[in-house]
Amino acid sequence: ALAVLTPKDLAGKHVLVTAGPTREELDPVRFISNYSSGKMGYAIARAASRRGARVTLVTGPTCLDAPWGVETIHVTSAREMRDAVLERYASTSIVIKAAAVADYRPARRAPDKVKKSDQPETIELVRNPDILAELGANKGGQLLVGFAAETESLLENAGKKLNEKNLDLVVANDVGQVGAGFNVDTNIARLLYRDGRVEELPLMGKDALADVILDRVRDVKSKK
Ligand code: CTP
Ligand code: CA
């Protein structure tokens, strides 16, 4: 959309968006991660900025260019993402967590490259902090949007995340479907609201979906 024709309906809002995967290092050359491209989060950051918001993007490693006009903070691990997000939480009015945070990290990171001769048979993993759950537990008027990537029982699993993480809106993606989820330009999303409503959206491009999510965020925010 042409920037000059976009209504600045998010003016005065500080929107914090997270995007991309996190990487959990085993040693200086190896890591555990996931297939997130970062495209959805970057699309939301661009759209929010175009609509007049002050936008902070906290992003894991992606191939994407930092959006123009958006404060972009690059992080690698889940723990770095947590620190970057919590530092800015108090000053934000809307948080949209599109990042695919690794749930586990290696219990130890070797300072030097591990040689195959002394490679252990198993890798010990420990749980990463759940950033979004922490935000939900410490809410002070912020509107919280989570994503739920599922391959089964989509609505049930996404609904649980809405409640357990104290969210205002969940964008649920059936990543088992063709044309949805990781590393593609389209999504088939369902939006779950606090009042139990579920909105089914058609297959759409991530840029269009970003604007729909921001429309709903604006509407929920105005009722809060
Ligand atoms: N999330 C987070 N910190 C984590 C894990 C997830 O902030 N350590 C956020 C994601 O950014 C996303 C939401 O929580 O907005 C849901 O992520 P998802 O991986 O679908 O859910 P989990 O709670 O990790 O549960 P599971 O992986 O078992 O489905
Ligand atoms: Ca997870």
HEC profile for 163-215?
A: HHCCCCEEEEEECCCCCCCCCCCEECEEEEECCCCEEECCCEEHHHHHHHHHH
Ligand nearest to the CA of 100: 1
pLDDT at residue 19 in the model: 98
Whether the pLDDT of residue 3 is over 70: the answer is no
pLDDT at residue 181 in the model: 66
As a whole number of angstroms, the distance between CA 167 and CA 140 comes to 12
Please list, in sequence order, all residues whose beta carbon lies within 8 angstroms of the beta carbon of residue 213, skipping any fewer than 6 positions away: 44, 96, 145, 169, 171, 191
Residue 108 tokens read as 């130890």
More confident residue, 159 or 7: 159
Ligand 1, closest atom to CA 149? Answer: 20
Query: Is 139 annotated in some ligand binding site?
Result: no
Mutate to test the pocket of ligand 1, among 59, 96, 101 (most ligand atoms within 8 A of CB): 101
As a whole number of angstroms, the distance between CA 123 and CA 146 comes to 30
More confident residue, 1 or 154: 154
Does the C-beta of 73 come closer than 6 Å to ligand 1?
Answer: no
Nearest to 51 by CA among 3, 97, 18, 96: 3
Query: pLDDT band at residue 222, thresholds of 50, 70 and 90?
Result: confident
Coil, strand, or helix at residue 49?
helix
Residue 129 tokens read as 């902090």
pLDDT at residue 5 in the model: 75
Span from the CA of 118 to the centroid of ligand 1 (angstroms) = 33
As a whole number of angstroms, the distance between CA 36 and CA 98 comes to 10
Q: Whose CA is nearest to atom 9 of ligand 1?
A: 132
pLDDT at residue 175 in the model: 81
Ligand nearest to the CA of 18: 1
Of the listed ranges 32-36, 74-78, 220-224, the least confidently predicted one is: 220-224
Mean pLDDT of 74-94: 98
Residue 31 tokens read as 């890591």
pLDDT at residue 60 in the model: 98
102-151 pLDDT tens trace: 999 999 999 999 998 887 789 999 999 999 999 999 999 999 999 998 88
Q: Whose CA is nearest to atom 14 of ligand 1?
A: 132
The mean of the pLDDT values for the chain is 94
Span from the CA of 133 to the centroid of ligand 1 (angstroms) = 9
As a whole number of angstroms, the distance between CA 103 and CA 66 comes to 25
Does the C-beta of 130 come closer than 6 Å to ligand 1?
Answer: yes
Phi/psi of residue 67, each to 5°?
A: -65, 140
Query: pLDDT band at residue 1, thresholds of 50, 70 and 90?
Result: low
Give the percent of the chain with pLDDT over 70: 96
Does the C-beta of 167 come closer than 6 Å to ligand 1?
Answer: no
As a whole number of angstroms, the distance between CA 207 and CA 189 comes to 13
Span from the CA of 131 to the centroid of ligand 1 (angstroms) = 8
CA atoms within 13 A on the CB side of 122: 3
As a whole number of angstroms, the distance between CA 67 and CA 49 comes to 9
Of the listed ranges 31-40, 91-100, 174-183, the least confidently predicted one is: 174-183
As a whole number of angstroms, the distance between CA 101 and CA 209 comes to 21
Please list, in sequence order, all residues whose beta carbon lies within 8 angstroms of the beta carbon of residue 167, skipping any fewer than 6 positions away: 132, 136, 144, 145, 146, 161, 194
Query: Is 123 annotated in some ligand binding site?
Result: no
Provide the phi-psi class of 79: left if phi over 0, else alpha when psi is between -120 and 50, else beta: alpha
